[in-house]
Structure 1
Amino acid sequence: MSTTVPEAGRRLSPARQRLLDAATDLFYSEGIHSVGVDRIIDAAGVTRATMYKQFDGKEGLVLAYLQGEDRQLRELFAQAGAASSDPDVLLELVIGGIEQDIRDRHTRGCPFINAAAEYPDAGPVRELIADHREWFRATLEQLATAAGLDDPADAAASLVLLRDAALVGGYLDGQERVAPAFARTARGVLAAHRV
């Protein structure tokens, strides 16, 4: 069963959007378990009843937060696909997009790795994380295959590993140091897999 239920294309109520925005900011900057529902409700300026009408408790809000993160990465791939159909260009656009994301947006690590650390046991959150990671890996493998890379599965796995490391490393060592190292190393992975 897939837990990813994209809200893309669906207009969110203002209260739902405020709750999701507040939760996204707080969960990412402070951690999921350290932020209580009351704090999210206060930050969103809604009532407790509104919160529970919009989301099935805190876990529902956590799932919506991670679905939003998933959707943003999928949109990065969609933007790259709209810009070019050449798989080599697409891979370069994806690398550049991830490099920019490391610099500008995900400055406190990977939201999926962070959430996995807080949800170590099987359940809907871990299922959503696994679905996201499998989509990411499979999409990179499709691009690597289309680009004619040798062992596309290995190339994709290497790029996923690099992104994971860069998001965590950017938080620890600084984005300006890590983002260009990610891009350079990712290009090296692609070069090593060219036939």
Structure 2
Amino acid sequence: MDDEEARTRLLDAAEALFYAEGIQAVGMDRIRTESGVPLKRLYKVFPAKEALVTAYLERRDRRWTASLRGAVADSADPVEAVFDWLAQWFSEPDFRGCAFLNAYGELGTGPAGVLDVVRRHKTELRDLLAELAGPGREELADQLLILVEGATVVATLTPGPEPAHRAREAASALLAREGGHAID
């Protein structure tokens, strides 16, 4: 097994375990066991748990953001597509909320690398919403971010598409008020 294969296996195990059970609840020995990567190789690839957590969140960010961007790129109404995408995500059987907010909630301002990834992820999401809101509509972008984040937190407690549908209704009202088009 080379370092790249070990890295992939470790990240696969870390993502499944950290997202399902929490970062602090899962030790490096459990990651090693689940991944099948020898201990020496694990610490060669990820010298500390913080490095593994940071890599897990960076990989999740790339996939999550690419998936959302893909959904809005192919849509006639990109703002509507955001909430439709959220409804699908919230309905997944293993949905456990936002991995980034979960990590921040567990670790707070502790590991700097982790906090940087969380902040970058939220900035990217806000930037995407600003693109969708259009030029000069910064306040609307901030409001859409609050709707997305709020719906995600509510869906963590009550999984299913309903929080996304309610946030979509609120976004429609905001867009109508702002002189944009309402979401059907």
Secondary structure of residue in 2 paired with 1:171? helix
Alpha carbons of structure 1 residues 193 and 69: separation in structure 2 relative to 1, 3 Å: farther
Question: 2:93, 2:79 → 1: CA distance?
Answer: 20
Q: In 2, are the aligned partners of 1:108 and 1:168 still within 8 Å (CA)?
A: no
Residues 1:175 and 2:160 are matched in the alignment = yes
Kindly state the Cα deviation for residue 111 of structure 1 after the two structures are TM-superposed: 0.8
State the shift of 1:112 in Å. Answer: 0.9
Distance 1:70 1:177, change over 3 A: same
CA displacement 1:8-51 (0-9 Å, x = unmatched): xxxx8332222111111111111111110000111111111121
| C-alpha displacement of 1:94 | 2.2
Indicate the residue corresponding to 2:27 in structure 1: 36
Q: Displacement, 1:171?
A: 2.0
> Partners in 2 of 1:20 and 1:164 — Cα distance?
25
CA 1:50–1:142 in 2, change beyond 3 Å: closer, same or farther? same
1:136 matches 2:121: no
Match runs of 1:22-61 below 5 Å: 22-61=13-52
Aligned match of 1:111: 99
Cα distance in 2 between the residues matched to 1:102 and 1:189: 22
SS of structure 1 residue aligned to 2:154: helix
CA distance in 2, matches of 1:127, 1:23: 19
Structure 2: which 5+ residue stretches go unaligned? none
Contact 1:166 1:179 (C-alpha < 8 Å) held by counterparts? yes
Instruction: Report if the CA contact (8 A) 1:106-1:167 is conserved.
Output: no
Distance 1:15 1:45 in 2: 9
**Distance change >3 Å, CA 83–CA 152, structure 1 → 2:** same
1:176 to partner: Cα distance: 4.0
For 1:194 and 1:37, the matched residues in 2 are separated by: 52
Q: Which amino acid in 1 is paired with 2:87?
A: E
The structure with higher relative contact order (CA 8 Å, sep 6+) is 1
Relative to structure 1, is the Cα distance of residues 33 and 158 closer, same or farther in structure 2, using a 3 angstrom cutoff? Answer: same
TM-score (norm 1): 0.80
Q: Which amino acid aligns with 1:32?
A: I
Task: Map Cα deviations across residues 52-83 of structure 1 (whole Å, 9 max, x no partner).
Answer: 22223211110111112211232124313542
The runs of 5 or more residues in structure 1 that have no matched partner are: 1-11
Amino acid at match of 1:182: A
The corresponding residue for 1:3 is none
- Compute the RMSD of aligned alpha carbons: 2.2
Alpha-carbon spacing, 1:106–1:191, altered in 2? closer, same or farther (3 Å): farther
What's the counterpart of residue 70 of structure 2? 79
Check whether the contact 1:41–1:48 (CA below 8 A) recurs between aligned residues: yes
- In structure 2, give the amino acid aligned to 1:36: G
Partners of 1:142 and 1:56 lie apart in 2 by 38
